[in-house]
Amino acid sequence: MRSNLARLAFLPLAILALLAGCATTPESVNLPDIGSWDARTAVLGDIRNWEFKGRIAVKADDDGFNGKFNWAQQGDAFSATVGGPLGMGTVRIEGDGQVISLTDKDGVETVLQDPELELKWRYGWTIPISSLRYWALGIPDPVQPASTEFDEDGLLSRLEQSGWVVEISRYREGGGQQMPRTLSATNPDTRVRMVIDRWLFFDR
């Protein structure tokens, strides 16, 4: 009897835990049709919640690394984790549309006044934080002038913006549409190459 009562007491807690898990983990959704360039820039420029998981390689002079790279966007806020070699460890870069901060491998958080410059100073390389959320989606940053080129399917293949040259060499299915798979961003000092393995889009 005591054993049965214990199991009955545990059951509501298990149900609550399951419901809490469901409430905090949104289901991924498919994108609407973005077959035209106008539709692509409109839909992806307005999309609020999404993430990708992939890999990154950064090369700057004699410095660089290869590692995992995950990005999650929720409205104006983002969180990016970069996993590099043991010397750098895993760092997290976060922003809310106004402030961008860096948490290093030791858990020390620093607000970045000039993210690209300060990453270069700390690690010898940099990534274009402010515009990367758009470039990864295969569209230009809407607040900066840009020069664009397209492939035979009407997808962005080359972009010049903010002193960087972005080239997207492969697309693959993500959210039911064609999304960048392999892209590079290069400026006179740095080359960033990304391979995106998985896209997820959410409706909230």
Question: Chain-wide mean pLDDT for the chain?
Answer: 86
Would you say residue 84 has pLDDT above 90?
A: no
Task: Report pLDDT for 2.
Answer: 44
8 A C-beta contact, residue 57 and residue 66: yes
Q: pLDDT tens across 9-66, in order?
A: 444 444 444 444 444 557 899 999 998 999 999 999 999 999 999 999 999 887 788 8
% of the chain beyond a pLDDT of 90: 65
* Angle formed at CA 145 by CA 137 and CA 43, multiple of 5 degrees: 35
Q: Between residues 122 and 166, which one has the greater pLDDT? A: 166
* Angle formed at CA 99 by CA 98 and CA 105, multiple of 5 degrees: 150
Of the candidates 137, 24, 37, the one whose C-alpha atom is nearest the C-alpha of residue 78 is 137
Domains, the chain, ordered by start: 37-84+115-202 (2.50.20.10)
Would you say residue 90 has pLDDT above 60?
A: yes
Of the candidates 127, 123, 144, the one whose C-alpha atom is nearest the C-alpha of residue 136 is 127
Ramachandran category for residue 75: left, alpha or beta (phi over 0 → left; psi -120 to 50 → alpha): left
Would you say residue 110 has pLDDT above 90?
A: yes
Task: Report pLDDT for 87.
Answer: 59
